[in-house]
Structure 1
Amino acid sequence: MDRALRILWVEDSAEDAELFAALLDDEGVAHAYDRVDDEAGLRAALAVTLPDLVISDSELPGFSGGHALRIVREVAPRLPFVFLSGAMGEDAAVLALQQGATDYVLKQNPRRLANAVQRAVREAEAMAERDRADRELMRAQRNEALALLVAGLSHDLRNVLQPLSLLPTVMRAKDDRATALRAADIVEEAARRGHDLAQAMVDYARGRRQEAPHADLADVLVSVRILLAGSVPRSIRIAFPHIDRGLRLAIDATSLQQCLLNLCLNGLQAMDGQAAGRLAVTVEVQHDLAGDVVRIDVQDTGCGIPADVLPRLFTPFFTTKTQGTGLGLLSCRRIIESAGGRLDIDSTPGEGTTMRLVLPLAPADTPASTAA
């Protein structure tokens, strides 16, 4: 390792901890350690600062390694946790791994400890780096989409403000209650549209995530359509399904909104310059080997994708756009797959493309997050 590790040792024997710490030093694993031997000590140590690794005996007086593992997983689900025990049988070791332990080492074979520690820390660092890369991908995709939406936003704002700018002239010309009531209705509708548009843009720009990772598909589709409204050319017809609220998917609403918006913008760009085109979103509930799923198709009648380009669409930084980042589809696929779904593409050059999301339904009676 290129730095000294911080190890938290859950061990009732100070002599054992010192002995095995010396063994790590002999194997070239630079580290410093603290030792605890009960639940209170473990919780207090984790509350101060998280170590790079926890090493725990399986049995301690009045405490157990299994209990220690549960506490660590509550506080830090991905913190490396290695059992070091002199009395752990094969069945107990397998159970520990199933419950979230990273590895186990028998005290009778201590030479494996250094390798187990180094591997556990490397895997945790690689996972953290992947998480950082995923966050960067999402930010890059969101920024790319926001750049495309700016023109549409200004168009929508003009549509909201135009009737408001005409009202003073109308009300001065017709000083009657009926005109005043109609003007009030127009102001109320314009305010509602302006609020919905602003809220959708703010939530999208922030990439807000909710506590409950379950999206109500009806709400997400409404927010996507609001965001798209100003970006659709007059030559393009757009069709969204009307579905009742209550169809909940096992994915964060903002993430789903981001994916659908990206796929819709891709479809609109594929039809750029066409005299006429159609972008359609369809929804279908299906049952497959994985259980109940929802299929969402985003279909355009654009130029299609050449056969030699299809295999490269999910390659980082590969793009056919003059100002694209080449990260949008890759980010979409990672989001969908992390939710247990999949993203498929069906395209025919000269005819159009269908981007297909297949996502699992959320369990019944789960709260839904919202995208706007």
Structure 2
Amino acid sequence: MVFSPVGALIGEPHNAVLAQATCLAYLAASLALLQWTRGAKASLPEQALIGAGVDVVVATLAVHALPTAGPGVALMLLVNLGAASLFLPLRLGLFTACFAALALLAEYVWSQVHESGAQRPLAEILMFTVSFFAMVTLTHLLGRRLRESQALAERRGQEAENLAGINELIIRRMRTGVLMVDDGRRVRMANEAALRLFGDASDSLEGRTLAELSPELGARLERWLQGGALDDTPLLHGPEQLEIQPRFARLLTEGDTVLVFLDDASLVARRAESLTLSAMGRFSASLAHEIRNPLAAISYSVQLLEESPDLPESDRRLVQIIHQQCQRTNGIVESVLGLARRERAVTEQFDLVAFVRRFVDEFQQLVPTENGALRSAGRERPLQGMFDRRHLHQVLTVLVQNAINYGRMPGESARVTIAVAEREGRPAIEVNDRGPGIPEAVVPQLGRPFFTTSEHGTGLGLYIARELCRANGASLDYVAVPGGGACFRILFSGRNPLLS
């Protein structure tokens, strides 16, 4: 600008050659510093310190070459020193301010001594000196506050990110299913519990509509959004007919994004059942003494009555039946107590075919023929199985009694068959009836304690039978019969070759 047509506004240069040389040298130094900052591994404070030093030298030469532009050059130097002090420690920033003040003072002294024609007031130099120190101090404090604010923001951001990760982990691992549904009723987020409720945990629910996952759940959400009323009845979902208790909450007060909480009501029910069974186990332990005393008295009296010579032969068989039933009742009490105490079953290997035949003979003597017919079927050859004899007798009694009570068509007597077979290479006993069968909606509930479809049932028979099978390493399962009726299969553990 000095050598352009507008240079007259700035004034004539005192030393044109020096002004041109300073401009060219400053340009070359700027390019060299730019190249150096790109390729060198110097720190930012080092770059700022060297750049400020170059600015001071160039500004001093420019003030000497252009005395009329001196105040403007000093002001530009003031800005450069303030910018450099943002990245420098305070003592280095004060050093650059001192260096700039000494350089301007040296130029003033040189001009006064060697070039008496230059007229510049000393107050101007002093004013810029104070300005240099003030600017450096203020910008350093500002830079420190900015760096502290940035560090605090980074820490807060890291803490917020950690909290977000913890919250996401908590939501993912919650036993309550959580779905985030947008205004289009599409799932945007689902935790692991929700994935287990609606399918394989490896599948993704994101992008699928809520009505696609569960039409009833989607309809309940629409009704809740329209009227705000929440249906408290459990929702049956999936082939296992899981009981799900849905709850809804808006993510934002004014938004349409909804959080859907899915509580597994069946899990709560199982916990309640576990507490009930635990209480029942403690109760049965205290009641065992009261039950055993009458049983012992009846059994002892029957034994004395059986030894009486005056007892008719026709009544002697009835006395034997009473004695057998006392022993069986005592065995049932022992089994329930053992189940409550989780005692180990005393398993032994025996012939299942012979055991079933004896069981059928004994049961036929106790149950009138008009109530139902029981017969054995299946293979004739012996088949060895591992089980506790008392437990197996109790399990078969429960299954056969249920088949006689519920496995009959209206107006007909029950026809029950116990068959010994080999399934999947393992011994098995199957109890079949020719009744109406079990509805599909009831099948998932079979074996749950206190679940019964009868007004007079306790809902503990199948549960105790299944637990006794588990205690013996076997399984008790319901098998659907295509031609009608019901089949309960006891699948024993594999054969022990050491006992064969």
Which structure features the higher share of helix residues? 2
- TM-score range relative to shorter protein: 0.3 to 0.5
Which structure features the higher share of strand residues? 1
Larger Rg: 2
TM-score for the superposition, normalised by structure 1? 0.42
TM-score for the superposition, normalised by structure 2? 0.32
Question: Taking CA–CA contacts closer than 8 Å with sequence separation of 6 or more, which of the two structures ends up with the larger relative contact order?
Answer: 1
